[in-house]
Amino acid sequence: MSMVAELFLEFVLLACVAFGGATALLPEMHRVVVENHHWLDDTTFTHLYAIAQSAPGPNVLVVTLIGWEVAGLAGAVATTLAMCLPMSILIYLLIDRWESFSGKRWQKAVSLGVAPLAVGLIFSGATLIAQAASFGWAAWALVIATVVANLRLKLHPLWFIGVGAALGLLGLV
């Protein structure tokens, strides 16, 4: 199977469990792309995450970057489509019937039940980035400062990105 087809199929599978959006998929994308297939190494993976963070647009686009690094333009198109198509098709078919099952007990149970899992996925994504980038004490200090500042202050995320980029450029992280 060609690499692009393989990428597409792997990411279609991921799209079907992406509760919490693409951010929640970081650990699994790392498992598939870095650990299983060795398409990318740890450093490149964290770099791609950093680039996606600093670009405008929906969070989905980290998968575009991964696709590009693995298989060029075809790879970028493949991962992006794979990520968006399955649920787009499903939602196209279901939206007219949504009102007939929204509010049902099972629907509420799924919504309630999936929330703690999504939190766990995003937490795991954060630990994964820290691990893959093998943060030293300075980087961890910046992580903690970001968490505290982000929870206390209402700042635009670009401020944080800018500070992180500047500290990194100065070789302080």
Partner 1 sequence: MAKACRPTPNRPSSGWITELSVSPEESPSRPDLRALFWGFSAVGLSGFGGVLPFARRMLVDEKRWMTAEEFNAQLGLCQFLPGPNVVNLAVVVGKRYQGVVGAIVAPLGMLAGPFLIVLLLALLYDRYGSLPLAHGMLRGIAAVGCGLLFSMAWRMGGAIRDKRLFLPFTVLTVAAIAWLRWPMPAVMITGLALSGGVAYWRLGRR
> Binding to partner 1 by residue 22, rule CB under 8 A?
yes
> Binding to partner 1 by residue 109, rule CB under 8 A?
yes
With contact defined as beta carbons under 8 Å apart, do 62 and 48 qualify?
yes
Q: Which of 4, 65, 71, 78 binds partner 1 (CB under 8 A)?
A: 65
> Binding to partner 1 by residue 9, rule CB under 8 A?
no
> What is the closest distance, in whole angstroms, from the C-beta atom of residue 1 to partner 1 in the complex?
19
> Binding to partner 1 by residue 19, rule CB under 8 A?
yes
> What is the closest distance, in whole angstroms, from the C-beta atom of residue 33 to partner 1 in the complex?
13
> Binding to partner 1 by residue 41, rule CB under 8 A?
no
Report the alpha-carbon distance of residue 67 to residue 77 in Å, rounded. Answer: 7
Angle, CA of 37, 59 and 111, to the nearest 5°: 95
> Binding to partner 1 by residue 58, rule CB under 8 A?
yes
Burial of 1 (0-12, 13-18, 19+ CB in 10 A): exposed
Report the alpha-carbon distance of residue 146 to residue 161 in Å, rounded. Answer: 10
Residue 153, Ramachandran bin (φ over 0: left; ψ between -120 and 50: alpha; else beta): beta
> Binding to partner 1 by residue 12, rule CB under 8 A?
no
> Binding to partner 1 by residue 84, rule CB under 8 A?
yes
Count residues binding partner 1 (CB under 8 A): 109
Name which of 5 and 120 has its Cβ closer to partner 1.
120
> Which residues make Cβ contacts (< 8 Å) with residue 155, sequence separation at least 6?
149
Residues 122 to 151 in contact with partner 1, rule: CB under 8 A: 122-130, 133, 135, 139-140, 142-147, 150-151
With contact defined as beta carbons under 8 Å apart, do 83 and 18 qualify?
yes
> Binding to partner 1 by residue 108, rule CB under 8 A?
yes
With contact defined as beta carbons under 8 Å apart, do 26 and 45 qualify?
no
> What is the closest distance, in whole angstroms, from the C-beta atom of residue 20 to partner 1 in the complex?
5
